[in-house]
Amino acid sequence: MTIDKLETAEESVAGNGLLSRRLLLGLGISGTAAALSPNLLAAEASRFNIPSWSKQPGPGPSAYGQPSPFVADIQRDPGRANPLYPGGGASRTPLHALRGTLTPNGLHFERHHAGVPAIDPAEHKLIINGLVDRALAFSYDDLLRYPMVSRIQFLECSGNSGALFGATPPQGTAQSINGLVSCAEWTGIPLSVLLNEAGIDPTARWLSCVGADAASMGRSIPLDKALDDVLVALFQNGEPLRPEQGFPLRLFVPGWEGNVSVKWLTQLKLAREPSQFRDETSKYTDTLADRKSLQFSFPMGVKSIITSPSGKMQLQPGLYQIEGLAWSGAGRIAKVEVSADGGASWAPAHIDAQSGDKSLARFRVPWRYSGAPAQLISRATDSEGKLQPTRDALLAEVGSLAFYHFNAQQCWAVDNKGEVSNAYV
């Protein structure tokens, strides 16, 4: 058990209703569950104990399972197709409706530059060429014979939460504002194994990585990183990659902005310089206040978001679990703190689950909503000691022309009617 000390009394640990993270009991007693007298219990039993689904056998086993129709609203938000950008766009993970630290494959966020190619793995090749001793071509079947490793790690689009750079707070949900982050067990071949097999020319410094989609999505990564912890991933949460995640194979670059984890990977070319691909010049560069741009800003910063309560939710006065997710491209999450008074005071959150290095961590702290306005903020500290910045501090550092790599603290304001909305503090 990760929860080892229980407390039944509500002990205030920070302003505006934040309670000790060890508070676990009392929810039912305070009105969540119905305490049943013998008579009430009999009444409940007659009402509930023989529902229709308990009277007749249901369907038997199936070949591939699907979610219950009763949770059909837990979906990604693909939006409407844009005829000027065929296949382009994104869909976001419904973070407000999920629990734990993993994202099921059907709900992993998407970002496509020319839609999802329907690749026949028997006709797909991965070619390694450029500054190598011998160019190599691998079929999918070749790659399946290699030893693989598995890691549970997050993937975040560098544009996630980018709307929060805007001058006025965008109104939306945890999904629509922050849903370009997901986490899975990625299984694949260490890229170093394949590169060493091709033989690396000592003058090589960069690796150009190209996908087989109609955008020929390409990114360059420094060879040092490629040889460190990058995978050629073939499996996600145990099964072959989904088409929208790069089937049959993709790069997985731990801790770095999502788009360098090139999907539908078909070519790796070693070179002395980066390739200046379209998506590392026209896009995915960070424009600073002086209008100069940082072309490469790969690592994702330390970040946390509150997933519940979150935007568009409606609260009643009472006891809640403030919970959310935290992650860092630099390693593990060491600490998360939560404020209910806009940052004036902070309570330590309990970290319920964290699967490993660069995985999502799930945090939680109990909170009593009195009905008075509250401003809920979380801030994470990673294993390198980096603290998630305030929005003001981030803007002071990168200016207001930036769009990528927003990792600042975010505030959900709860008004005196219990409505939750995004706010700047």
- Residue 124's nearest CA partner among 207, 234, 217 is 234
Q: How far is the CB of 241 from its own copies (least distance, A)?
A: 8
What is the spatial distance between Cα 305 and Cα 259, in angstroms, rounded to a whole number? 21
Length of the chain: 425
**Identity of the residue, 50 or 396, whose beta carbon is nearer to its own copies in the bound complex:** 50
- Sign of the four-CA dihedral 368, 374, 376, 377: negative
- Sign of the four-CA dihedral 299, 304, 307, 311: negative
What is the spatial distance between Cα 245 and Cα 106, in angstroms, rounded to a whole number? 10
Angle at the Cα of 383 (from 181 to 299), degrees rounded to 5? 45
First-residue to last-residue Cα distance in the chain: 37
Q: How far is the CB of 328 from its own copies (least distance, A)?
A: 19
What is the spatial distance between Cα 243 and Cα 102, in angstroms, rounded to a whole number? 19
User: For 287, how many CA atoms within 13 A lie in the half-sphere containing its CB?
Assistant: 11
Q: How far is the CB of 67 from its own copies (least distance, A)?
A: 6
What is the spatial distance between Cα 244 and Cα 23, in angstroms, rounded to a whole number? 41
Q: How far is the CB of 12 from its own copies (least distance, A)?
A: 18
**Identity of the residue, 217 or 302, whose beta carbon is nearer to its own copies in the bound complex:** 217
208: tokens are 């150009």
Q: How far is the CB of 155 from its own copies (least distance, A)?
A: 14
What is the spatial distance between Cα 31 and Cα 317, in angstroms, rounded to a whole number? 12
Q: Contact, 96 vs 174, CB < 8 A?
A: yes
- 163 φ, ψ (degrees, to nearest 5): -60, -20
**Identity of the residue, 2 or 203, whose beta carbon is nearer to its own copies in the bound complex:** 2
Q: How far is the CB of 253 from its own copies (least distance, A)?
A: 14
- Residue 185's nearest CA partner among 240, 224, 142, 144 is 240
- 113 φ, ψ (degrees, to nearest 5): -105, -20
- Residue tagged 């330390």 (tokens): 302
**Identity of the residue, 230 or 402, whose beta carbon is nearer to its own copies in the bound complex:** 230
**Identity of the residue, 23 or 380, whose beta carbon is nearer to its own copies in the bound complex:** 23
**Identity of the residue, 182 or 339, whose beta carbon is nearer to its own copies in the bound complex:** 182
Q: How far is the CB of 224 from its own copies (least distance, A)?
A: 14
**Identity of the residue, 99 or 272, whose beta carbon is nearer to its own copies in the bound complex:** 99
Q: How far is the CB of 59 from its own copies (least distance, A)?
A: 5
Q: How far is the CB of 342 from its own copies (least distance, A)?
A: 24
**Identity of the residue, 103 or 285, whose beta carbon is nearer to its own copies in the bound complex:** 103
Total Cβ atoms within 10 A of residue 12: 13
**Identity of the residue, 244 or 341, whose beta carbon is nearer to its own copies in the bound complex:** 244
Q: How far is the CB of 252 from its own copies (least distance, A)?
A: 12
**Identity of the residue, 105 or 421, whose beta carbon is nearer to its own copies in the bound complex:** 105
Q: How far is the CB of 49 from its own copies (least distance, A)?
A: 7
User: For 240, how many CA atoms within 13 A lie in the half-sphere containing its CB?
Assistant: 12
**Identity of the residue, 279 or 395, whose beta carbon is nearer to its own copies in the bound complex:** 279
Which letter, b or e, does each residue of 370-382 get, where b requires 16 or more Cβ atoms within 10 Å of its Cβ?
A: eeeebbbbbbbbb
Q: Which residues pair with 208 in a beta bridge?
A: 220, 269
Q: Which residues pair with 190 in a beta bridge?
A: 231
